[in-house]
Amino acid sequence: MSRKEQRSDGSTKDSLAAVVRRSELILTCGPGGVGKTTTAAALGVAAAHAGRKVVVVTVDPARRLADALGLDESIAADEPHLVKGVTNRKTDGELWALMLDAEQTFDRLVREQAGSRKQADAVLNNPVYQAISGSLSGAQEYMAVERLHQLHVSGEWDLVIVDTPPSRHAIDLLEAPDRLVGFLSHPVYRTLTVGQRTFAKVTDAASSMFLWAVKRLAGPQIVEDTVEFFRSLANIEGGLRRRAKEVSRLLRGDRTSFVVVSSPRAEAVGEAEHLLDAIGDKGFPLGGLVVNLIHPMPTELSDDDVELLADLDDGPLADQLEWHHELTRLATAERSELVAIGKLAGDAPMIELPLLDVDIHDVPGLIDLSARLV
């Protein structure tokens, strides 16, 4: 299977079809609401049609898309489940979908890294962990890539596709493993976990200030629980650190591809450009750029039409004409954004997808989109 494919313009850019066939891990990322989850699912369909056994890990999909993937309430979170109706030829693979459960992923990670069940329980049963586990900044992002690692090493899948959790900064996903390592090296964390010092003996200024503030705000019990939590975490710290580094390496491996999804709207393009820069700077492999939700360019009016319509008074036809102008302006602005963002994609393929007039809410919709993608 060749990595590069000859394109109609004679160049040899990787096509997204090639990326889908050769990658073992794909991450879709980009600004909010541009179609990351939909693209992740459609890439999954494409991979299954290429004969691969693929699992798409989604986070909080739109209700109708969840229905398309068969992820209704009866499906347990964290359990892979076969998506029906995607494959029917002998040469087809399988598409499975899984709803990320950050808490279960962390539980699994802690149990794997702990030396004993007691050590694991000390972390997981701590009231502080239970209170903060759902809301730790960046925790969902880390758990998404951690789950990717768990599924990858299980050896059960030819391809694991992970969708970015809806977050304000798509870049969080890239930085999650390094951020975890950074957290474990933070002076406050270090002072809380080093040795057998009790809260009263903590002398480090930053930690004392931190604990003093927590004590004032939340009461002494929470301080005891907090200190206890960080201590119990210290037992598995080595494992966490190793794993975060492994995940970080995996994300930069040559079997991994990042697919950036954007819309052609200026704000989204700005964020996507920032993300593409970060992907390049941090050495993550870019598999492709998908620009979704592009407005079709309306047919150009002939000079005769323009003349004929010039003297229109108010009325439905005048409104139609105004709408035609508006759409033309929008579509033109989008095309100039496309040129700018295309330059940033470098050697990676850029795929343009139109704004369809129906929501993508079922398997045939995903199959149609996957055909457009690859």
Ligand X SMILES: Nc1ncnc2c1ncn2[C@@H]1O[C@H](COP(=O)(O)OP(=O)(O)OP(=O)(O)O)[C@@H](O)[C@H]1O
Comparison of 34 and 174: residue with beta carbon closer to ligand X: 34
Type of residue found at 130: Q
Give the residues lining the site for Mg ion (CB under 5 A): 36-37
Shortest CB 224 distance to ligand X, Å:
39
* Residue 239 touches which member of ligand X, Mg ion, none, C-beta under 5-8 Å by kind: none
CA dist., res. 103 & res. 44, Å (int): 25
Shortest CB 175 distance to ligand X, Å:
18
* Residue 360 touches which member of ligand X, Mg ion, none, C-beta under 5-8 Å by kind: ligand X
- Binding to ligand X by residue 37, rule CB under 6 A? yes
* Residue 373 touches which member of ligand X, Mg ion, none, C-beta under 5-8 Å by kind: none
Residue recorded with tokens 């200030």: 209
- Binding to ligand X by residue 353, rule CB under 6 A? yes
What count of Cα atoms within 13 Å lies in the side-chain half-sphere of residue 174? Answer: 24
Chain positions 354 to 373 lying near ligand X, rule: CB under 6 A, are 355-356, 359-360
Residue recorded with tokens 């699912």: 41
Comparison of 33 and 115: residue with beta carbon closer to ligand X: 33
Shortest CB 34 distance to Mg ion, Å:
9
- Binding to ligand X by residue 35, rule CB under 6 A? yes
Comparison of 62 and 181: residue with beta carbon closer to ligand X: 62
CA dist., res. 266 & res. 274, Å (int): 12
> CB of 37 within 8 A of CB of 61?
yes
Comparison of 50 and 59: residue with beta carbon closer to Mg ion: 59
Contact with ligand X (CB under 6 A) among 22, 32, 81, 368: 32
Comparison of 236 and 287: residue with beta carbon closer to ligand X: 287
**Alpha helices, H only, the chain:** 16-22, 36-49, 63-68, 102-113, 117-124, 127-132, 139-153, 171-185, 187-193, 205-218, 220-234, 237-251, 266-281, 303-310, 316-344, 363-373
Shortest CB 32 distance to ligand X, Å:
4
Comparison of 78 and 121: residue with beta carbon closer to Mg ion: 78
CA dist., res. 352 & res. 372, Å (int): 9
Q: Which stretch binds ligand X (CB under 6 A): 91-99, 101-109, 224-232, 350-358?
A: 350-358
> CB of 235 within 8 A of CB of 114?
yes
Sequence-distant (≥ 6) Cβ neighbours of residue 27 within 8 angstroms: 145, 148, 161, 162, 163, 164, 173, 251, 256, 257, 258, 259
- Binding to ligand X by residue 34, rule CB under 6 A? yes
- Binding to ligand X by residue 350, rule CB under 6 A? no
Contact with ligand X (CB under 6 A) among 70, 138, 166, 239: 166
CA dist., res. 1 & res. 85, Å (int): 27
Shortest CB 33 distance to Mg ion, Å:
8
Chain positions 38 to 67 lying near ligand X, rule: CB under 6 A, are 38, 62, 65
Residue 200: C-alpha distances to residues 146, 207, 225, 235 (Å): 36, 11, 14, 21
> CB of 328 within 8 A of CB of 298?
yes
Chain positions 263 to 322 lying near ligand X, rule: CB under 6 A, are 292-293
* Residues found near ligand X in the complex (CB under 6 A): 32-38, 62, 65, 166, 292-293, 353, 355-356, 359-360
